[in-house]
Structure formats: C-alpha cells, structure tokens
Homo-oligomer: A and B are copies of this chain.
Amino acid sequence: MKVAIIGAGLVGSLAALNFARMGNEVHLYEYREDIRTAELVQGRSINLALSQRGRKALAAVGLEQQVLATAIPMQGRMLHDVRGRTSVVLYDPCTKQCLYSVGRKQLNEVLLNACEKLPNISCHFNHKLTSADIREGVMQFKRAEEHITASADLIVGCDGAFSKVRQHMVKAAGFNYSQQYIEHGYVELCIPAKSGEFQMPPNYLHIWPRDTFMMIALPNQDKSFTVTLFMPFKNFAAIKTPEQLLEFFNKFYADAVPLIGEERLVQDFFKLKPQYLLSVKCQPYHFSDKALILGDAAHAMVPYYGQGMNAGMEDVTLLTSLLNKPLKLQEVLEQFSEMRWQDAHTICDLALYNYVEMRDLTKRWSFRCRKWLDTLLFRLFPIFWVPLYNSVSFTSMPYSKCIANRNWQDRFLKRSFAGALLAGLAAYLGALYFRGLHAS
C-alpha cells in the first residue's frame, strides 16, 4: 500500500516508521525544511514532557533508550510563591516515576534519522500541501514555485492543530468537529545557563501559580530553561511598555527576573504577539479507507497536562496494533476512530481542567489535602488506587478510563467521608444512650 503522510513532525515521522516497518511504501511530506538543518522556529514550544504513552510508542520502534539518554527527568513540580519561596510536589512519591523534558528538535531528529534508514520511506521536505482530493487520494503540493501532484492509497494527516488534511475531511457529511480557543495566550521566555550551569534545580517542572495566570519553566539540555508565561489576552494587552513589564514581573515573578535578566526579558516579551491556544475535537478521524488524521490534527489540546505529544504518539501505537490484525483497511480506520475519540476528547478536557489546577489549586489547602490522601491510598493499594495524574502520565490506561477511575475515587471518598460522619454520630448517640441507661 502507498501511504502519504502529511507532516514530518513527531507524530508524522513516528507514523512513517510504523507504516514502513509493516512493508508499506511511505512518502513523508513536510512543508518546512528539514528540522535537522533548520533554525529553531520561535513561538513553537521547544521542549516537551515525555511520559509513559510516548515512551511506549518510542520503545515499539526501538528508540526509547536513545531518546531518554539525552532527556532531563523531572520528578515533580517545584512551586514558586510570590515571595520566591519554593516547595516541591513529587509526581509519584511511591514509585518515583518521572516526566522527561525532551527537546522537540532532538526528538524529531532521532525519528527522522530512523526514517532515513528504512528504504521504503521517502522524505519530501519543503512540500506544502495546497489541496487534496481525499476521495481519490490525489494531493497537490507546492515546492518553491513548482507545483507537484502525487497520489496515495491512504493519506495520513499529521499536520498539526491547523491541519490541511482535516480541512478536507470537515466538509464530509457526518464529520463532527469543534475548535475552541481559550481566552489565555502565551509568550515564551528563557532563563539562560549561567557559567555553564542551570540557574534553578533542573529536575523539576517549575511553576509560578498566580490564580488567573501562571508561568512555567522546563529544563533544556543546554542548561537553560524555556519559560512560558500564560495569561488572559487582556492582561497581555495591558502591558505596553518595558516599565510596565518590569513592574508586573517584579510584583509577581520577582525571583525569576534576575534569572532571565531584565534586558532579555523585555526583548523576548515584546518580540512576538502572545500566541493562541486551542482545543480541537473530531469524530471520526477517518474518511472511508482513504484518509486519516492523527495527533494534533485530530485532537489538538492546550498544553497543561503535557499530553499533546504523548497522546499523538499513542494514536500511532493503537493504529499499529489494529493494522497488525487481520482486518480490511476500512475496518481498521473505523475501529481506530471508534476506539479513540472518547479518549481524545477526555484528554482535551483534562488538559483544560489542569490549567485551573496548575495556576490556582496547587496552592490550596483542599487540593494538597486530597493529594496527600491520594498518595497515602496509592501507597497502601498501588493496584486499586492510582491517582488521576499518575494514571494519565505513568500508565497506558485509556484516558476515559482514567477519568472514570477518578470519578469512582471521588464518590468513594465522599461516601467514606459521609460514612465516617454518620459513624461518628452513631457512636456519639450510642454513648449518650448508654450513659442514660447507666444513669437510670
């Protein structure tokens, strides 16, 4: 089968590897130049949190260890309060599992290098998809001034949140679709290395939660941190001058100002407009046996659960397992859509929710109390009581099962709490009664 994969990013190149290993003729089209020789693109998140689902997908193509070798483990969140005091919340105090900060460029390089080793993958960079007839499997590309026509039995759109392949599928009857922007945007800043060393402890995801906005930082291999400030657009709009910016930072992120450096802060903050964040939901993900979308093209999400890349890579794991079954391609794609959409919708919603948790709840007593209870129960019953964050990040449990699990846990705790109250009341009444008996 001739498979055209649109987009040679993380999910596209991983999908290419999997299709090729099953003996298909794979053509991998990318509208940018080869990322291995390209300058970094400002505005796209340059480091990502790799967790279990991504690791599993990389392991299946024999690349997990190579990627982990250069990744930076993050064992928990380090919270920075307004006075600069820090505290740590471990992701997994029981079994010490970590997230791994990986560079987008490095990871993409590893995947593309693996693609190039397979004779049945052809990479076509600088090919911009201009239109497609998904019914007929015909695509039009533009390379510089040249127009190129290509065809394939299956077109796989791994072309990101603004997917061109999806644009053609949205027109088909019965294709459910939504795109939802949040009212918060982001800008990327940088805490550079100092004297060749990290300026903060590297093995954490640093968070500055500030209720309605927040800042985070992930470590890079070059000992710098990529810092991302998330805030409502109206707050961004209110900061017009370097003075206003420094006033704002000195008020809310005072400890970060000397690490970033005032000059660099001003320069980076005003370099680009704040970027938009959106959730994309689709159902189904395929069109007949002719087209399919994976990753952000199918389910772009806000970045707050660190699951965007992991969910995209898990798409490939599921698809590959179905392709290895004795099914017709149409059945594979149907089953893929059917098995995947609820999980994808769930993680999109969880990612939105986690923004509230990260910027606000982590500071609250009730949240910390629940977290402590979760950890205790996880320690006591590691099979039965896996907290939500852990099931999402450190297992391959379907996302919708993770949330069903959490709902069950919530009900259990509520009932236990009510049960404990009732038991206490019964004991009290019992005591009164017996005292009464005794007195009479």
Which residues does A use to contact B, with CB under 8 Å?
A: 162, 167, 170-171, 173-181, 276
| Distance between Cα atoms of A178 and B176 in the complex (Å) | 8
Question: Of B171, B173, B178, B180, which contacts A181 at CB under 8 A?
Answer: B173
Can you list 19 pairs linking A and B with CB atoms under 8 Å apart?
Answer: A162-B171, A167-B167, A170-B179, A173-B181, A173-B276, A174-B181, A174-B276, A175-B179, A175-B181, A176-B178, A176-B179, A176-B180, A176-B181, A177-B177, A177-B178, A177-B179, A178-B178, A178-B179, A178-B180
Please, which residue of chain B has its CB at the minimum distance from the CB of A177? B179
Task: Give the number of copies in the complex.
Answer: 2
Chain B residues with CB under 8 A of A167: 167
Chain B residues with CB under 8 A of A170: 179
Chain B residues with CB under 8 A of A181: 173-176
| Distance between Cα atoms of A177 and B179 in the complex (Å) | 5
Q: List 13 other contacts, CB 8 Å, given A174-B181, A176-B181, A178-B180.
A: A167-B167, A170-B179, A173-B181, A175-B179, A175-B181, A176-B178, A176-B179, A176-B180, A177-B177, A177-B178, A177-B179, A178-B178, A178-B179
| Distance between Cα atoms of A180 and B180 in the complex (Å) | 14
Q: How far is the CB of A283 from chain B (nearest CB, A)?
A: 9
Q: Which are the 5 A-B pairs with shortest beta-carbon distances?
A: A178-B178, A173-B276, A174-B181, A177-B179, A176-B180
Chain B residues with CB under 8 A of A162: 171
Chain B residues with CB under 8 A of A276: 173-174
| Distance between Cα atoms of A213 and B189 in the complex (Å) | 57
Q: How far is the CB of A1 from chain B (nearest CB, A)?
A: 29
| Distance between Cα atoms of A171 and B179 in the complex (Å) | 10
Please, which residue of chain B has its CB at the minimum distance from the CB of A180? B176
Please, which residue of chain B has its CB at the minimum distance from the CB of A279? B176
Interface-central residue, A171, A178, A276, by most chain B CB under 10 Å: A178
Chain B residues with CB under 8 A of A177: 177-179
Q: How far is the CB of A233 from chain B (nearest CB, A)?
A: 9
| Distance between Cα atoms of A173 and B173 in the complex (Å) | 25
| Distance between Cα atoms of A180 and B283 in the complex (Å) | 9
Please, which residue of chain B has its CB at the minimum distance from the CB of A275? B173
Q: How far is the CB of A293 from chain B (nearest CB, A)?
A: 15
| Distance between Cα atoms of A355 and B2 in the complex (Å) | 45
Chain B residues with CB under 8 A of A178: 176-180
Q: How far is the CB of A256 from chain B (nearest CB, A)?
A: 28
| Distance between Cα atoms of A396 and B162 in the complex (Å) | 39
Q: How far is the CB of A265 from chain B (nearest CB, A)?
A: 25
Q: How far is the CB of A176 from chain B (nearest CB, A)?
A: 5
| Distance between Cα atoms of A176 and B170 in the complex (Å) | 15
Chain B residues with CB under 8 A of A174: 181, 276
Chain B residues with CB under 8 A of A179: 170, 175-178
| Distance between Cα atoms of A174 and B182 in the complex (Å) | 8
| Distance between Cα atoms of A175 and B278 in the complex (Å) | 10
| Distance between Cα atoms of A175 and B176 in the complex (Å) | 17
| Distance between Cα atoms of A173 and B178 in the complex (Å) | 14
Q: How far is the CB of A413 from chain B (nearest CB, A)?
A: 29
| Distance between Cα atoms of A177 and B276 in the complex (Å) | 15
